[in-house]
Chain A
Amino acid sequence: MAEEEVAERGSPRIVAVHMRLGLLTSVVKEALLSSFQIASEGTSLEGSRLVIEEVPVEIFCAKCNQRRTIRSLQWFRCPECQNPAAKILRGKEMEVVALEIEE
């Protein structure tokens, strides 16, 4: 995906790939970092860094009428009022957000 993007821009050198990773994706940051290194070998991404920003799970609490970040994946409830969390707002992201390039 990052390769396609740089090809469209005249193939500058990629210094870093920035990603956002939700805590509800079942993807482990460390595993992704090590597989990135292996997968990038021999590609235009070789030698670049993968920077991962982890996104906590945010829910909407209907009782508080507020966005709240849950404290644990083992407790899907509003951390303030303990109301069950029905609506998940954030935490399922798995996206490339930006590339750092040198032209």
Chain B
Amino acid sequence: MNAEPRIIEVRKNILKQNDIIARALRERFREVGVSVISLVSSPGAGKTAFLERTLASLRERCRVAALVGDLATENDAARLARSQAPVKQITTGTLCHLEAAMVQGALDAWDIGPLDFLFIENVGNLVCPSSYDLGEELRLILLSVTEGEDKPLKYPTIFNSADVAVITKIDLAAAVDFDDELAESNIHAVRPGMKVIRVSAKTGEGMDEYLEFLEQRRAAMRAPASA
């Protein structure tokens, strides 16, 4: 009984299960040809308003749908449904982020084959979602002008996990003395070279550029890999 403790090697990745599901999802999305775009931000950065506008605009030219994660209410799903696009809610209870298995569960009885774009709105949180791959093709991080320019420096991990930064509520920039240059340099400090888009879901400013970017990206991803 008093033998010296012995070390046994294990080497098990704790989030492996999530990564396995995320990989399967990514494969499925690729096979059926749907572009999956996730949105992360702090609570109140304007994910829902931005997504509502995105869905309403894209709906005119292609097939879109959304999955929305929320802690307790279905308010966000109700708001997004006003865009007339199909919307499904994932209520996470007290869990502060979405996991790949929840996305998989929500898509279970849903034929996503005919879709061009599927948007996934994560729970408003700048910490936990960074560790969970959802199988998305593109992760957008939203930063509203009212939050301050230093958010990227405070939450470098999530900014680093994203592919595109979207500065929201740009119509309020002057009112809150938002330093756009500083915000961009902070974004690039934690994620060099990340594309930065500026929008206002309220006035529509910047939305055309953003939608064009999405469609170009989709076209590029779908183009056969030829020389």
Q: Which residues of A contact B (CB under 8 A)?
A: 1-2, 5, 9, 15-16, 18, 24-27, 73-77, 84-86, 88, 93-103
Shortest Cβ distance from B188 into A: residue = A84
Is the CB–CB distance between B131 and A15 below 8 Å? Answer: no
Q: Which of B5, B128, B130 has the most CB of A within 10 A?
A: B5
A-B CB pair tally, cutoff 8 Å: 86
Inter-chain contacts of A99 with B (CB < 8 A): 7-8, 10
Segment at the A interface, from B11-19, B44-52, B64-72: B11-19
Partner of B10, one of A5, A94, A102, A103: A5
| A95: min CB distance to chain B, Å | 5
Question: When chains A and B are docked, how far (Å) is the Cα of A9 from the Cα of B128?
Answer: 34
| B21: min CB distance to chain A, Å | 16
Q: Which residues of B contact A (CB under 8 A)?
A: 1, 3, 5-15, 127-128, 130-131, 153, 156-158, 160, 188-193
Q: Is the interface of B mostly helix, strand, loop or mixed?
A: mixed
Is the CB–CB distance between B10 and A26 below 8 Å? Answer: no
Question: Which 8 residue pairs across A and B have the least CB separation, nearest first?
Answer: A84-B192, A73-B156, A100-B5, A15-B5, A26-B157, A94-B14, A95-B13, A74-B153
Inter-chain contacts of A95 with B (CB < 8 A): 11-14
Question: When chains A and B are docked, how far (Å) is the Cα of A55 from the Cα of B22?
Answer: 24
Is the CB–CB distance between A100 and B10 below 8 Å? Answer: no
| B94: min CB distance to chain A, Å | 15
Inter-chain contacts of A101 with B (CB < 8 A): 5-8
Partner of A76, one of B1, B127, B158, B191: B191
